[in-house]
Amino acid sequence: MSTASSSSSVVRRGSLALPLVCCPSCKEKVRMYISTTEKRDGWVFYKCQKNGVNCDFWHWELEYVQYLSEKHYLVGDAFVDAIGAAEE
């Protein structure tokens, strides 16, 4: 079970569900994206909607899971499950 603030939504990708929180810098929504570059095709990453404009919040999936844990959006079993799924 994952916990998130009331302003968060959840994206489900397979068995992985991560809260999409507000960016800590500009308070815009963080979104999930899938890389289409040749080198990292299919890799999942999360970034602020304003990334590249006036915000630099951007993380690969595993880094985003760690960020969510540090900020207490993912705790206990939810964190363990998310780390396991992100590492697959």
Predicted local distance difference test score (pLDDT) of residue 16: 64
Residue with tokens 């990708």: 13
Predicted local distance difference test score (pLDDT) of residue 12: 43
Cα torsion at 53, 35, 33, 80 (round to 10°)? -120
The ranges assigned to domains in the chain are: 22-87
What does the pLDDT look like over 20-73, one tens digit per residue?
Answer: 999 999 999 999 999 999 999 999 999 999 988 889 999 999 999 999 999 999
**Beta strands per DSSP E along the chain:** 9-13, 16-20, 30-34, 44-48, 58-60
Per DSSP, the three-state class of 63 is: helix
Indicate whether 88 pLDDT > 80. no
Q: Which two tokens stand for residue 61?
A: 């999936």
Q: Is the dihedral of CA 88, 4, 64, 76 positive or negative?
A: negative
What does the pLDDT look like over 7-28, one tens digit per residue?
Answer: 344 444 444 678 999 999 999 9
